Amino acid sequence: MKKFLTFLCAVMPVLGMIGSAGAVSFQNGSFETGDFTGWDVITSAGGSVSVVTGNSGFGPTDGTYFANLVANSKISQDQIWSAGETISFDWNFNANDYLPFNDYSIFSIISTNGSMLFNYTLANVAATGNFNATGWNTYQYTFATAGSGSIGFGVYNFGDTIYDSQLYIDNVGGTAPVPEPATILLMGSGLLGLVGYSCKRKKS
Ligand SMILES: [Ca+2]
Ligand SMILES: [Ca+2]
């Protein structure tokens, strides 16, 4: 038993380090507080946001609530991420307009230094169809390099300021990177070294 405890003492700090290399952790990523606690909200030109239990026949994909973004509005959170980390979210674009008024919705990542790292159109009226909804989809994004910045979702009017389209968001979260074989090897040899060290100390 004592030996096992000694082993645990040696291993725990290393296990701690594995998880602390900068990981995305969304606050209130499923909007289950019933409001936008943890989120930054920006609205312009008739835009509005709300947290709802249902809209236009759609319910949440996780829990009781989801975010409802209308017209010109955006929600975001500042995060720190590590290379190989994946974030995931559910989205549903409800096009409440007709072409050529090509309202659109985006997923964006803006670096802390202000540069746009990723700006992706989730859907627009052209792709969805006049007055159509995409239904719920899941989108995943994996960071190639470590960094920090603002991760956000937005919906925008195009060509007019009426017939406001909507973007629904739910179940926003991140998963830790899967260690590469080389990393596992390194960690393994590190653990062996630590165990060896604790054994040596016991003998002397
Ligand atoms: Ca939810
Ligand atoms: Ca519109």
Q: Please give the domain boundaries of the chain with CATH numbers for all domains.
A: 22-174 (2.60.120.260)
pTM to 2 decimal places: 0.79
pLDDT value of position 193: 55
pLDDT at 104: 98
Tokens of 6: 């000694």
**% of residues, the chain, pLDDT over 90:** 72
Any idea what DSSP says for residue 164?
Answer: -
Question: Over 80: is that where the pLDDT of 8 sits?
Answer: no
Residue 60's closest CA among 137, 140, 170?
Answer: 170
pLDDT digits (tens, 9 = 90+) for 168-197: 999 999 877 666 666 556 655 555 555 555
How many angstroms does the Cα of residue 50 sit away from the middle of ligand 1? 13
What tens digit of pLDDT does each residue of 65-110 get? Answer: 999 999 999 999 999 999 999 999 999 999 999 999 999 999 999 9
Provide the pLDDT for residue 18: 46
What pLDDT, on the 0 to 100 scale, is given for residue 88? 97
Mean pLDDT of the chain: 86
To which residue do tokens 């830790």 refer? 176
> Can you give the pLDDT at residue 10?
54
**pLDDT bracket for residue 26 (50, 70, 90):** very high
Q: Which helix (H) or strand (E) holds 170?
A: strand 166-175
How remote is the CA of residue 64 from the centroid of ligand 2, in Å? Answer: 28
Percent of the chain with pLDDT over 70: 75
Residues with CB under 5 A from ligand 2 (ion): 97, 101, 103, 157, 163
Give the distance (Å) from ligand 1 centre to CA of residue 36. 12
Residue pLDDT, tens place only, 126-144? 999 999 999 999 999 999 9
Residue 165 Cα to ligand 2 midpoint, Å, equals 6
Q: How confident is the model at residue 22 (pLDDT cuts 50, 70, 90)?
A: confident
Q: Do 82 and 100 form a contact (C-beta atoms < 8 A)?
A: no
Hey, is 62 helix, strand or coil? coil
Of the listed ligands, the closest to the CA of 70 is: 2
Question: What is the rounded CA–CA span in Å between residue 177 and residue 83?
Answer: 7
Residue 31 Cα to ligand 1 middle (Å): 5
Reduce the DSSP state of residue 29 to 3 states and report it: coil
**pLDDT at residue 191, as a whole number:** 54
**Which ligand ends up closest to the CA of 156?**
2
Query: What's the CA gap between 2 and 10, in Å, rounded?
Result: 12
Ligand 1 (single-atom ion) residues, CB below 5 Å? 30-31, 60, 62-63, 65, 170
Residue labelled with tokens 């409001």: 35
Helix axes 2-19, 181-203, angle to 10 degrees: 150
* Largest distance between two CA atoms of the chain: 81
Per-residue pLDDT at 175: 79
pLDDT computed for residue 15 by the predictor: 47
Going by pLDDT thresholds of 50, 70 and 90, the confidence category of residue 204 is: very low
